[in-house]
Amino acid sequence: MARKKIALIGAGNIGGELAAYIAREQLGDVVLFDIPAKADYARGKALDLEQNGAVLGRDAKITGTSNYDDVAGSDVVIITAGIPRKPGQSRDDLIGTNLPIIRDVATNLKRVAPNAFVIVISNPLDAMVYELKRVTGFPREKVVGMAGILDSARFQLFLAREANVSVADVRTMVLGGHGDDMVPVLSACTVNGVGVEHLIPKERLDAIIARVRGGGGEIVKLMGTSAFYAPASSAIAMCESYLLDRKRLLPCAVQLDGEYGYKDLFMGVPVILGAGGVEKIVEIPLTAGEKEMLAKSAASVQSTLDIVRKST
Ligand code: APR
């Protein structure tokens, strides 16, 4: 059987890390796409990664390109095209630059990769994935945004450090938009089944939640650009669940059609990802407080979408 083909649109920090991971884990061949001005950069990165494969004994073919014809027939496309945040910027501040970019990417993908499973990482995430879906017209099962896994991972890490337990035993669930009002669902946050509220005092939990909400910004402030290792691994979890039909239950941004009471927007909710793409949107019971937080988060997603809709 031929190896799967995974196209990465954007050969920057996250794109490079994604390519390295895919090659190392032998998930498929990689096409590393960037704009013409960065074509040689993409080719150079691809060559470096193929040579890395020689050291590791991995056969994945990695191609750097700025030609969409090379993306044709991809099984999975992961989009990081755009600019990342600089210190002091919110994700929404990126919309002016990243909206035309996602439209350009979507127009080309519609032509060359109509059967791909598409994962969007570019920010502002919930608006970018909405626009990708609108322009391509791809089925909703095949278009997802990566945010919830990353936000949940940040929560997982901070809880593990606070409770002094292994990160491997901490389970978390963060829903809603990928913004400062994301919704941590405490009933789904446990250390191997033991509710975190039994292990960590409320004031510390509140402080940790505040840190998770600003978790992306904390890194931007330190590095001058946005995170890339954890975002790449989060997208890989989604890509792998699709390609290997693992049917993992993961928080992903998907188009809602009445689920959780919302329609015609993308927002993070728990879904099952398998060979059919988004095979199921899982509706979990939320407390009144969580519902209120979700409504606030949905309102922020909606206000960014208003800007997107006005500019069409
Ligand atoms: N088509 C393809 N690639 C593009 C386009 C385009 N129209 N416009 C820009 N790019 C490329 C840039 O040339 C750059 O190489 O996207 C790449 C982005 O890489 P980085 O600047 O290193 O950014 P990265 O850290 O990878 O983040 C990308 O993901 O998490 C989000 O907020 C982040 O929106 C940002 C995105």
86 Cα to the center of ligand 1, angstroms:
13
Confidence of residue 180 (pLDDT cuts 50, 70, 90): confident
* Per-residue pLDDT at 1: 87
pLDDT in tens, 110-156: 999 999 999 999 999 999 999 999 999 999 999 999 999 999 999 99
pLDDT in tens, 148-163: 999 999 999 999 999 9
pLDDT in tens, 90-112: 888 999 999 999 999 999 999 99
Which two structure tokens, joined as six digits, stand for 131?
Answer: 């626009």
pLDDT in tens, 224-253: 999 999 999 999 999 999 999 999 999 999
Protein residue with its CA nearest to atom 10 in ligand 1: 81
Catalytic residue among 45, 134, 142, 178: 178
- Is residue 198 annotated as a catalytic residue, yes or no? no
* Per-residue pLDDT at 205: 96
84 Cα to the center of ligand 1, angstroms:
7
310 Cα to the center of ligand 1, angstroms:
24
**Distant-in-sequence, close-in-space partners of 65: CB < 8 Å, separation ≥ 6:** 31, 32, 33, 39, 42, 43, 71
CA 192 centroid distance within chain: 25
297 has pLDDT over 90: yes
Mean pLDDT over residues 255-268, rounded? Answer: 97
Cβ(123) to ligand 1 under 6 A? Answer: yes
Cβ(65) to ligand 1 under 6 A? Answer: no
pLDDT in tens, 31-45: 999 999 999 999 999
Domains in the chain, ordered, with CATH?
5-145 (3.40.50.720), 148-310 (3.90.110.10)
**Long-range contact set of residues 169-174: C-beta below 8 Å, sequence gap at least 24:** 170/196, 173/148, 173/251, 173/270, 173/284, 174/148, 174/212, 174/251, 174/268
